């Protein structure tokens, strides 16, 4: 916000009216430079002069503290709502803000903590129910499932902290991690359940059988939570098909040597299907996985447009 905008849209039409009416008040502001205060502001800037001319008493508060500036936290969900939808003028922006406020519920935060609770349970289960993988090189991080779960955990952790602290940086980190974790977890679910239907021995060795509740916590719940979070509680992804393919290829290229290194130490692959295929078969599987992950990104962006399309059509 510039000094000119703050004077013309806030101080002159709103604050001056109260001053002339004789109201006794202290104007609380955060450290935005447009407010004429803060460590980087010049002492004789237009806003500071305006306040001095009208005898306005002000108080600069901590912008990032929800304890002292609760509005910072409150704005997070409506801002995400507005970012999803086009707004071409002040009237459409105001309408979107009002709609965003109406849709803010405690579930916005609950969804993050529900996901973290589920992910934590999965890690605890791995420790409490050891298999040969627990003592092998690479631990359970040999599995793409656990790598995806870890990125999802980091994403939801950043989202929960962003909700609690109103940190814009954490919110952006959460969204960046979501671009990685959501298509990856959807890929994991697609590959796992399709191969399990064909033959569960392709993905689960005899010594690593999972009860249903644990199976769902690894291969279904993360996918559902991440997709719901993206479609309903996040801004749209601004990633092109080329960028999505690059990200998917990077996962494939990095996962390949990691799996091979673990095989050299352990003498077995984390997924039995890797051992059933030869070199070219594994290369083909990795290429197929990268293409599928890219397709997942494209499909999720399309679903996002469909899920939020009613607003877009109404405003166009």
- Taking only the tens place, the pLDDT of each residue in 28-38 is 877 677 787 65
pLDDT at 38: 57
pLDDT tens digits for range 228-237: 888 877 888 8
Confidence of residue 130 (pLDDT cuts 50, 70, 90): very high
Q: Is this structure's pTM higher than 0.75?
A: no
Residue 55: is its pLDDT beyond 60?
Answer: yes
**Bridge partners, 27 (sequence order):** 58
pLDDT tens digits for range 153-165: 999 998 888 777 7
**What is the mean predicted confidence (pLDDT) over 30-49?**
72
Structure tokens at 15: 């604050």
Lowest mean pLDDT among 96-100, 195-199, 272-276: 96-100
pLDDT tens digits for range 254-307: 999 999 999 999 999 999 999 888 889 999 999 999 999 999 999 999 998 887
Backbone angles phi, psi at 268, to 5 degrees: -150, 155
């Amino acid at each position: 916000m510039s000094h000119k905008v703050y004077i013309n849209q806030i101080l002159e039409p709103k604050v001056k009216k109260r001053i002339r009416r004789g109201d006794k008040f202290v104007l609380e502001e955060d450290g935005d430079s447009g407010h004429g205060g803060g460590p980087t502001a010049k002492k004789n800037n237009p806003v500071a002069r305006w306040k001095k001319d009208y005898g306005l008493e002000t108080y600069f508060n901590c912008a990032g503290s929800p304890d002292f500036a609760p509005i910072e936290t409150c704005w997070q969900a409506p801002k995400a709502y507005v970012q999803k939808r086009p707004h071409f003028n002040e009237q459409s922006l105001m309408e979107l803000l009002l709609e965003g406020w109406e849709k803010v519920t405690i579930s916005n935060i609950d969804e993050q903590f529900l996901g973290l609770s589920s992910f934590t349970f999965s890690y605890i289960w791995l420790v409490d129910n050891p298999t040969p993988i627990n003592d092998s090189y690479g631990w359970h991080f040999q599995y793409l499932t656990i790598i995806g779960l870890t990125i999802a955990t980091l994403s939801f952790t950043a989202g929960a902290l962003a909700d609690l602290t109103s940190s814009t940086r954490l919110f952006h980190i959460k969204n960046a991690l979501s671009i990685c974790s959501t298509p990856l977890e959807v890929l994991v679910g697609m590959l796992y359940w399709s191969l399990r239907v064909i033959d569960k021995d392709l993905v689960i060795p005899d010594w690593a059988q999972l009860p249903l509740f644990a199976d769902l916590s690894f291969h279904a719940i993360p996918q559902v939570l991440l997709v719901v979070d993206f479609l309903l509680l996040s801004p749209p992804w601004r990633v092109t098909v080329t960028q999505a393919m690059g990200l998917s290829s990077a996962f494939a290229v990095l996962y390949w040597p990691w799996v091979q290194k673990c095989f050299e130490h352990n003498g077995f692959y984390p997924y039995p299907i890797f051992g059933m295929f030869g070199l070219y078969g594994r290369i083909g599987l990795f290429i197929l996985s990268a293409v599928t992950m890219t397709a997942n990104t494209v499909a999720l962006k399309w679903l996002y447009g469909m899920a939020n399309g009613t607003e877009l059509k109404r405003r166009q």
